[in-house]
Amino acid sequence: MLDLQAIRADFPALAQSVHGRPLVYLDSAATSQKPRAVIEAVARFYQEDNANVHRGVHELAERATLALEGAREKVRGFVNAAPAAEIVFLRGTTEAVNLIAHSFGRARVGPGDEVLVTALEHHSNLVPWQLLCAERGATLRVCGIDERGDLRLDELDRLLGPRTRLLAVSHVSNALGTVSPIKAIVERAHARGVPVLVDGAQAVAHLAVDVRELGCDFYAFSGHKMYGPMGIGVLYGRAALLEEMAPWQSGGEMVSEVSFERATWQPPPRRFEAGTPDVAGAVGLGAAIDWLDRLDRKSVLAHERALLARGRAALEKIAGLRLLPGGRESSAVLSFALDKLHPHDVGTVLDLEGVAVRTGHLCAQPLLRLLGLSSTVRASLAAYNTEADLDALVNALHQARATLGG
Ligand code: PLP
């Protein structure tokens, strides 16, 4: 059994009122709140260990380097990568996808080739591929979804062709919550010799991710969506692929030997970590992993699933509310439209009731368009949410309807 009160007590930001109402935070898919252990780990780094890494011989530089590499080891364990060199620290999922597009993509994708994405992608796993395809004279293919919000695997099979150079697919959709069967998808792609990049931004806070079990080639995620700090993220890449990749950004720390004419590169991961890294962010991410590890993750998942089912059932009872599909397996997201009311107006009324949700196109404009919408309201869940939060959402939606008509 989860001790929800104890979990909530770990999050100072949850214990506040907004507009005179207790905060009901249902926007964790945008960014989760941070437990005290993470906030304190970041502060402690700056108070006690702050120094630049990999380049000093003094005590603080040594401690900072150990802290960064210790965090890398924690992330390695968290996703079950084999060597820690497969873990690259970056700013977040967006930067990880851009790194793959600029380095791996430029080397592998040429005129007439194809990159395959899906209709479920967040803009950050779509636009970099549009730019790459335009630059290389390649074609972007998009695998569609069915009426339940699941990827059409038959279509995926058809689209995986002899010119496909990469499949980029989200583990969990940020707009619908659909959990895609990554292991099966990777098997299909690999059977045709196509490498797979998984956008795990919405997965890692909820599902236990094992990159070796999934079999994917790359897996990207952001610290701030899994109780860690903003500004730090991770790219897992299979060692053999990272080895063959050229740097994208260059400068200090990623080089091995430099003359005025040329330079040689460090091995991964440092080849991809030019400049001073976000050491405090990595330390905070390590603390977030420790925090998650102290919970029983199976119970957290069961709790979030129960909340999701309860939320769906409650929202379905509201007349005029259109709940978007969430796939056969769904994670932590409730997206909906209320009558013809504009989602921003609904969100504003909810905010006045203390309920924080996301409204807009959710950085998934093509997907929403496919569903006949230009924007939506999204309530998203985390370990600290309660049934009372969902009741508050439902009450606030009734309030929105009363205030705005509809
Ligand atoms: N991919 C998905 C599925 C997301 O939900 C998000 C953020 O909302 C991103 C990528 C981008 O993450 P970040 O802004 O942390 O780089």
Closest CA to 45 of 63, 72, 70, 69: 63
- Give the separation between CA 367 and CA 361, rounded to whole angstroms: 9
The reply to whether 152 and 272 lie within a common domain is yes
Q: Which of 245, 265, 293 represents a domain boundary (last residue)?
A: 293
- Runs of H (alpha helix) within 45-126: 59-79, 93-100, 106-108
Q: What pLDDT, on a 0 to 100 scale, did the predictor assign at position 406?
A: 65
Q: Which atom of ligand 1 is nearest to the CA of 363?
A: 8
Is 289 domain-assigned?
yes
**C-alpha 61: how far from chain center:** 31
- What's the CA-to-centroid distance between 68 and ligand 1, angstroms? 23
Instruction: Determine whether the shortest distance from the Cβ of 170 to ligand 1 is under 6 A.
Output: yes
The reply to whether 90 and 220 lie within a common domain is yes
Residue 311: CATH number of its domain: 3.90.1150.10
Take atom 6 of ligand 1 and give the residue whose Cα is closest: 201
Q: What pTM was computed for the model?
A: 0.98
Q: What pLDDT, on a 0 to 100 scale, did the predictor assign at position 405?
A: 83
Q: Judge whether 357 and 25 are in contact, CB under 8 Å.
A: no
Is 90 domain-assigned?
yes
The reply to whether 199 and 276 lie within a common domain is yes
Q: Which of 264, 293, 322 represents a domain boundary (last residue)?
A: 293
The reply to whether 321 and 284 lie within a common domain is no
**C-alpha 54: how far from chain center:** 28
Return all residues near 317 (Cβ < 8 A) that are at least 6 apart: none
Instruction: Determine whether the shortest distance from the Cβ of 222 to ligand 1 is under 6 A.
Output: yes
Is 35 domain-assigned?
no
Q: What pLDDT, on a 0 to 100 scale, did the predictor assign at position 173?
A: 98
Give pLDDT tens digits along the chain (406 positions): 799 999 999 999 999 999 999 999 999 999 999 999 999 999 999 999 999 998 779 999 999 999 999 999 999 999 999 999 999 999 999 999 999 999 999 999 999 999 999 999 999 999 999 999 999 999 999 999 999 999 999 999 999 999 999 999 999 999 999 999 999 999 999 999 999 999 999 999 999 999 999 999 999 999 999 999 999 999 999 999 999 999 999 998 899 999 999 999 999 999 999 999 999 999 999 999 999 999 999 999 999 999 999 999 999 999 999 999 999 999 999 999 998 899 999 999 999 999 999 999 999 999 999 999 999 999 999 999 999 999 999 999 999 999 998 6
**Sign for the pseudo-dihedral over CA of 101, 113, 123, 205:** negative
Is 182 domain-assigned?
yes
The reply to whether 44 and 25 lie within a common domain is no
The reply to whether 332 and 398 lie within a common domain is yes
The reply to whether 279 and 341 lie within a common domain is no
What's the number of domains the chain is made of?
2
The reply to whether 10 and 156 lie within a common domain is no
The reply to whether 242 and 315 lie within a common domain is no
Round to the nearest angstrom and report the end-to-end CA distance of the chain: 41
Instruction: Determine whether the shortest distance from the Cβ of 32 to ligand 1 is under 6 A.
Output: no
Is 319 domain-assigned?
yes
Q: Judge whether 364 and 122 are in contact, CB under 8 Å.
A: yes
Q: Which domain holds residue 285?
A: 40-293
Cα distances (Å, whole numbers) of residue 98 to 65, 91, 144, 274, 343: 26, 11, 23, 15, 30
The reply to whether 284 and 333 lie within a common domain is no
The reply to whether 289 and 300 lie within a common domain is no
Q: Which of 293, 324, 358 represents a domain boundary (last residue)?
A: 293
Instruction: Determine whether the shortest distance from the Cβ of 118 to ligand 1 is under 6 A.
Output: no
Whether 133 is catalytic is no
Task: Give the helix/strand (H/E) hosting 183.
Answer: helix 182-191
The reply to whether 238 and 352 lie within a common domain is no
Take atom 8 of ligand 1 and give the residue whose Cα is closest: 30
Q: What pLDDT, on a 0 to 100 scale, did the predictor assign at position 54?
A: 85
Q: Which of 133, 143, 216, 363 is catalytic?
A: 363
